Amino acid sequence: MSSKEKNSVTILTESQLSSRAFKDEAYEFYKELRKSQPLYPLSLGALGKGWLISRYDDAIHLLKNEKLKKNYENVFTAKEKRPALLRNEESLTKHMLNSDPPDHNRLRTLVQKAFTHRMILQLEDKIQHIADSLLDKVQPNKFMNLVDNYAFPLPIIVISEMLGIPLEDRQKFRVWSQAIIDFSDAPERLQENDHLLGEFVEYLESLVRKKRREPAGDLISALIQAESEGTQLSTEELYSMIMLLIVAGHETTVNLITNMTYALMCHGDQFEKLRQQPDLMNSAIEEALRFHSPVELTTIRWTAEPFILHGQEIKRKDVIIISLASANRDEKIFPNADIFDIERKNNRHIAFGHGNHFCLGAQLARLEAKIAMSTLLRRCPNIQLKGEKEQIKWKGNFLMRALEELPLSF
């Protein structure tokens, strides 16, 4: 999106927000929004009218605002209920990310025991073994695509083992995940995504049948037990929860590892500092989360009650979308916000969200990133981009800030 186009656009569409061109220039666009239009109009197709939030303080306020709902059934009457865009939508949307209290509390309680600090620390040796095994495969070649060879397989192996999912199915999850996080309402894309989600539902049905016959000490077996107790989890909630754990359990971490590596490659002084002072790793991870937030835009929130923001009435049924990427570059909160500084102090980023929907897997993502990056820098100290920086491309995607690939030599 050129400067001329930015100035002429009065309403952004979903397809524009999802485009690669937007991702390339998003930070400059957000900077202008924070200055002059912190509440920016959106046209979201079948979802209706929406607003894009770009300032940090507004984001914090709205992420906790009880007038905004994640479950549209808490906003729309039966007559107003929008038709499902996808045939398989109901089977995959009854999860905690799309729920409000008290349902949200019930669903979150069912899985949060698997993500306690103690449980996460018990995974440390396993994650280290996975990281070393992946690098063992590529190190003789002196080359790898970080996304395919390292950043994707590491978290998908971890979450698959936690859930009790066969590792040979992990490549399928990559395709299905993209269909789930693709917000496009283009007819041909909707048809393709619906087909892929149908495959995912069939897979989950088969997996659950097997787990019912042969329960084990994994998270899916525990969720099936909760479902069998009646009031804890419905069948739709079971499928939706498994889907959410698979997708959220790896997508954010893939982007964190990849985006952090990219930021270090583009800021040689910071890369060298981290190599010389590995004790800065935790601080570097937090700065990477802020600088290239893995989740760029939040999932949608529906307005249940009208309210005024920046002199504009937000009406009932309006959609609110918050740019975490913009909030994390807000100059009023982060000095030198566009500078990548691995020693940044008081880093109050909201890359994992805020309020009730703060990411349940944040500790796991941080641990996976710490082990992945520490192992990469220790074993491949001379790592560098292979090819020109200009060849590195951001994916066109609504929710995520993700790279297509990141070729590295070492």
Alpha-helix runs per DSSP H in 94-234:
103-112, 117-121, 124-138, 146, 153-163, 170-181, 187-213, 219-228
Q: What is the pLDDT of residue 92?
A: 75
The domain limits of the chain are 3-409
Contact indicator for 94, 237 with CB cutoff of 8 Å: yes
Q: What is the pLDDT of residue 4?
A: 41
SS3 (DSSP) at 312: strand
Q: Token pair of 139, please? A: 């190190």
CATH architecture of residue range(s) 3-409? Orthogonal Bundle (1.10)
| Global confidence as pTM | 0.92
Contact indicator for 162, 269 with CB cutoff of 8 Å: no
Concatenated DSSP letters of 25-90: HHHHHHHHHHHH-SEEEEE-GGG-EEEEE--HHHHHHHHT-TTEESSGGGTS-TTTPPPPSSTTHH
Q: What is the pLDDT of residue 45?
A: 82
| 332/330 Cα distance (integer angstroms) | 5
CA proximity to 314, closest of 323, 301, 303: 303
Q: What is the pLDDT of residue 77?
A: 86
Q: What is the pLDDT of residue 234?
A: 84
Contact indicator for 52, 321 with CB cutoff of 8 Å: yes
| Per-block mean pLDDT, blocks of 10 residues, the chain (410 long) | 47 89 96 97 89 98 97 88 60 86 91 89 96 97 96 94 87 82 68 84 92 92 77 83 89 97 97 97 98 96 96 96 98 98 97 95 97 97 91 92 96
| 360/229 Cα distance (integer angstroms) | 23
- Name the DSSP letter for residue 176: H
Q: What is the pLDDT of residue 110?
A: 86
Q: What is the pLDDT of residue 102?
A: 92
